[in-house]
């Protein structure tokens, strides 16, 4: 299988919700979802269902991080 990786470094991201909104926008434009994201130095699995819950305010950042930490 051929694989590729794209890495972005984003500055001035105030909270996880903002990062997840950017990921969702990227998906809307490209149809691609990341396998993982990094937030404040922590590697996280990207879970689109839980991400949507964070964006809507139904799940807080700490719960998302706890459920999806890769460390």
The model's pTM is: 0.86
Q: Which tokens go with 28?
A: 């809307």
Q: What is the pLDDT of residue 62?
A: 97
Q: Mean pLDDT in runs of 10 for the chain (71 residues)?
A: 79 92 95 92 95 97 97 86
Would you say 3 and 14 are in contact if contact means Cβ atoms under 8 Å apart? Answer: no
């Amino acid at each position: 299988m051929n694989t590729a990786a794209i890495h972005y470094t984003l500055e001035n991201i105030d909270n996880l919700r903002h990062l997840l909104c950017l990921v969702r926008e990227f998906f809307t434009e490209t149809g691609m979802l990341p396998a993982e994201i990094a937030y404040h130095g922590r590697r996280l699995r990207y879970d689109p269902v839980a991400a949507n819950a964070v964006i809507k305010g139904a799940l807080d950042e700490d719960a998302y991080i706890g459920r999806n930490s890769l460390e």
